[in-house]
Chains A and B, each alone.
Chain A
Amino acid sequence: MLIKGGNANLTVTQVLRDVYALKKPYGVLYKKKNITRPFEDQTSLEFFSKKSDCSLFMFGSHNKKRPNNLVIGRMYDYHVLDMIELGIEKFVSLKDIKNSKCPEGTKPMLIFAGDDFDVTEDYRRLKSLLIDFFRGPTVSNIRLAGLEYVLHFTALNGKIYFRSYKLLLKKSGCRTPRIELEEMGPSLDLVLRRTHLASDDLYKLSMKTPKALKPKKKKNISHDTFGTTYGRIHMQKQDLSKLQTRKMKGLKKRPAERITEDQEKKSKKMKKH
């Protein structure tokens, strides 16, 4: 859900509208301004999330101390889990770039570049939050021709560059096409400001996966330290006389021998009874 603060200016409103366009069928854009401060009082945000049943939110505001402010956050069980405040330094909107856009509802590809994304806990949470926000619905199959756009995040010098490109597949000699990119969507230069991250145990609680979703252990399969997989097969009792082996012509039974063998077997059976 995308909410405007009490004093949202044109830039911030435009950013929210662009993000809404990117996330079209799954987003809710609130038209009216809401005079709240997410970092002080989270109850109104929680109320909105309960009403609209959305767990991800983006809140835009603007004041002299924090110009062009964007708070991006997520909820767990309708309570705020993480909130990160980003400042928008440069913004180029969807309509400023005169290109063809991709249809709404497509699942984007996400690329994170820069080693900053693993260094600090803030950046790691930000990365996880951005993945959560911008990835589309989870699908099991995807049409290869339908991979249309890519969101690229670069972390550099304390700034985060967010660019979105449209994908053009060109012929290359082999099956995999060559990629050319065309700048399509909103591009933002963001600066990390305040953060409100969940405490460790709340985060752990939210990451808990139920037993049903955990991958089932396959029986009779074991792994080596070297990565070799061993399987155990249980066979039924085999009739070794009927085994298929290499046939040595010299050892083949001649008809006369076979008859005498049959007679012996018969006499044995009679004796048994």
Chain B
Amino acid sequence: MEGHSVEELLAKAERDEAEKLQRITVHKELELEFDLGNLLATDRNPPTAVRSAGPTPEADLRALARDNTQLLINQLWQLPTERVEEALVARLPEPTTRLPREKPVPRPRPLTRWQQFARLKGIRPKKKTNLVWDEVSGQWRRRWGYQRARDDTKEWLIEVPGGADPMEDQFAKRIQAKKERVAKNELNRLRNLARAHKTQLPSAAGMHPTGHQSKEELGRAMQVAKVSTASVGRFQERLPKEKAPRGSGKKRKFQPLFGDFAAEKKSQLELLRVMNSKKPQLDVTRATNKQMREEDQEEAAKRRKMSQKGKRKRGRQGPGGKRKGGPPSQGGKRKGGLGGKMNSGPPGLGGKRKGRQHQGGKRRK
């Protein structure tokens, strides 16, 4: 009797389980394919039920969707879960569907200076053990890093070397050397990084420690150095053939806030007039003519340069010698003066002629 009831109980329990599971089980001929990383499910069964539905397959589509979603949810609920801030969170696996990328694969980084050198010399990395036997502590220690085997900054006794000052702090000297090495390594790392990204490096006073600089950078550094004197570069000598730096003045000039009211009123009215006028300020024909004339001048100058190269050289040397004799600042002034005079001539002629030509003519006189 008891056995009978036990069997009955077991059967009943089984039936209950089956019923429970029935609510969430779905029968499909072909198993679905799941990509849980993308919350994706693919059903390969031909949708016969929907096909037979006719013009309005809505209900059948919905039933199909419900079945498929149930299967997907069953899969998702199997995933390992954890509790994050009172919410039950499932950890998703990596998505398995391969989709094309949006942007191309990043290019490989350029080699660092050491890598280039190693490649050139054919140096290959030697395989080293992670741990080294340390006699002092009597144990295996790391080769580098925290509590390493031979750390010379941590020695408790340092003999004063033969030629050194007995009052010098050898411990401090070692710590200082370590700091310098660390800083040098950091600098090299950042330089490699900047080279990889081809960005500008902020350089100390415009100079590079190793001297790999371009002509422009050197020029800029020299300008900055020239101006960094007590008299802001006024009495700095210039080399004989050195040209004055261009573009080193103020970039914008602002009028004072309140000053010349009349001038301000005039400029504002002028601005309004220009804005209201129908005629454009730029006369296109005149501009194009000017451009064409300049191009013709350039061509002529080039042709003349080719034919009269010898004469040009001779003409140059004479005034050059004279200039060298006089004091450099006066020479500078003279050149400025000449330049000034040239510009103040009739703008129609002087502006259009090539500067070199005109000056050459004056010097010959």
Mark A residues whose CB is within 8 Å of B. 55, 74-77, 81, 107-115, 117-118, 128, 131-132, 135, 138-147, 150, 152, 154, 156-157, 161, 163, 165, 167, 169, 172-181, 183, 203, 205-210
**Minimum CB–CB distance for A56 against chain B, Å:** 9
Contact indicator A157/B51 (Cβ below 8 Å) = yes
Contact indicator B92/A135 (Cβ below 8 Å) = no
A150-B69, A177-B73, A178-B70 given; A75·B91 CB < 8 A: no
- Looking at chain B's contact residues, is the secondary structure mostly helix, strand, loop, or mixed? mixed
Which stretch from B34-42, B151-159, B164-172, B319-327 is at the chain A interface? B34-42
Closest 3 CB pairs of A and B: A173-B20, A206-B100, A172-B23
Contact indicator A141/B42 (Cβ below 8 Å) = no
- A selection of 15 A-B contacts at a CB cut-off of 8 Å is A81-B100, A112-B40, A113-B64, A115-B46, A128-B99, A131-B38, A140-B91, A142-B89, A144-B88, A152-B61, A152-B68, A172-B23, A174-B20, A178-B70, A181-B69
Query: Which residue of B is nearest A81, CB measured?
Result: B100
**Minimum CB–CB distance for A85 against chain B, Å:** 19
> Which B residues, 90 to 134, have Cβ-Cβ distances below 8 Å to chain A?
90-92, 95, 97-106
Contact indicator A141/B84 (Cβ below 8 Å) = yes
Please report the total number of B residues contacting A with Cβ < 8 Å.
54
A76-B104, A145-B88 given; A174·B21 CB < 8 A: yes
> Which B residues, 45 to 87, have Cβ-Cβ distances below 8 Å to chain A?
45-47, 50-51, 57, 61-62, 64-66, 68-70, 72-74, 76-77, 81-82, 84, 87
Contact indicator A161/B61 (Cβ below 8 Å) = yes
Contact indicator B105/A210 (Cβ below 8 Å) = yes
Contact indicator A111/B90 (Cβ below 8 Å) = no
Contact indicator B24/A75 (Cβ below 8 Å) = no
**Minimum CB–CB distance for A25 against chain B, Å:** 17
Contact indicator B39/A156 (Cβ below 8 Å) = no
Chain B 1-35 interface 0/1 with A at a Cβ cutoff of 8 Å (1 = within): 00000000000000011011101100000000000
CA distance A143 to B85 in the complex (A): 11
Contact indicator B100/A144 (Cβ below 8 Å) = no
CA distance A152 to B167 in the complex (A): 84
CA distance A156 to B41 in the complex (A): 17
Contact indicator B64/A131 (Cβ below 8 Å) = no
Contact indicator B100/A176 (Cβ below 8 Å) = no
B43 at the A/B interface (Cβ < 8 Å)?
Answer: yes
B44 at the A/B interface (Cβ < 8 Å)?
Answer: yes
Query: Which residue of B is nearest A176, CB measured?
Result: B77
Q: Which residues does chain A contribute within 8 Å of B69, judged by CB atoms?
A: 109, 111, 150, 152, 165, 167, 179, 181
Given A77, A163, A178, which contacts B65 in the complex, CB threshold below 8 Å? A163
Contact indicator A110/B65 (Cβ below 8 Å) = no
**Minimum CB–CB distance for B55 against chain A, Å:** 11
Contact indicator A113/B88 (Cβ below 8 Å) = no
Contact indicator B92/A180 (Cβ below 8 Å) = no
Query: Which residue of A is nearest B89, CB measured?
Result: A141
**Minimum CB–CB distance for A105 against chain B, Å:** 14
A138-B37, A142-B92, A173-B20 given; A111·B100 CB < 8 A: no
Mark B residues whose CB is within 8 Å of A. 16-17, 19-21, 23-24, 37-47, 50-51, 57, 61-62, 64-66, 68-70, 72-74, 76-77, 81-82, 84, 87-92, 95, 97-106
**Minimum CB–CB distance for A109 against chain B, Å:** 4
CA distance A270 to B24 in the complex (A): 78
Contact indicator A111/B65 (Cβ below 8 Å) = yes
Given A143, A167, A169, A173, which contacts B23 in the complex, CB threshold below 8 Å? A173
Contact indicator A114/B77 (Cβ below 8 Å) = no
A111-B68, A179-B66 given; A143·B61 CB < 8 A: no
CA distance A141 to B81 in the complex (A): 9
12 more A-B residue pairs beyond the given contacts A110-B40, A111-B72, A144-B88, with a C-beta to C-beta distance below 8 A: A76-B102, A81-B100, A111-B65, A117-B42, A128-B100, A145-B88, A152-B65, A152-B69, A173-B20, A179-B70, A207-B100, A209-B105
**Minimum CB–CB distance for B102 against chain A, Å:** 4
Given B39, B77, B102, which contacts A55 in the complex, CB threshold below 8 Å? B102
Q: Which residues does chain B contribute within 8 Å of A142, judged by CB atoms?
A: 39, 89-90, 92
CA distance A145 to B85 in the complex (A): 13
A114-B46, A143-B88, A176-B24 given; A150·B65 CB < 8 A: yes
CA distance A40 to B338 in the complex (A): 63
Contact indicator A111/B38 (Cβ below 8 Å) = no
A114-B47, A118-B44, A175-B77 given; A108·B19 CB < 8 A: no
Q: Which residues does chain A contribute within 8 Å of B99, judged by CB atoms?
A: 128, 131-132, 207
CA distance A163 to B43 in the complex (A): 15
Contact indicator A156/B50 (Cβ below 8 Å) = yes
Contact indicator A113/B68 (Cβ below 8 Å) = yes
CA distance A138 to B224 in the complex (A): 52
CA distance A173 to B97 in the complex (A): 33
CA distance A76 to B50 in the complex (A): 37
**Minimum CB–CB distance for B32 against chain A, Å:** 8
Contact indicator B90/A176 (Cβ below 8 Å) = no
A81-B100, A115-B44, A141-B92 given; A173·B21 CB < 8 A: yes
Q: Which residues does chain B contribute within 8 Å of A209, judged by CB atoms?
A: 101, 105
A75-B102, A165-B62 given; A115·B20 CB < 8 A: no
Query: Which residue of A is nearest B100, CB measured?
Result: A206
**Minimum CB–CB distance for A134 against chain B, Å:** 10
Contact indicator B100/A76 (Cβ below 8 Å) = yes
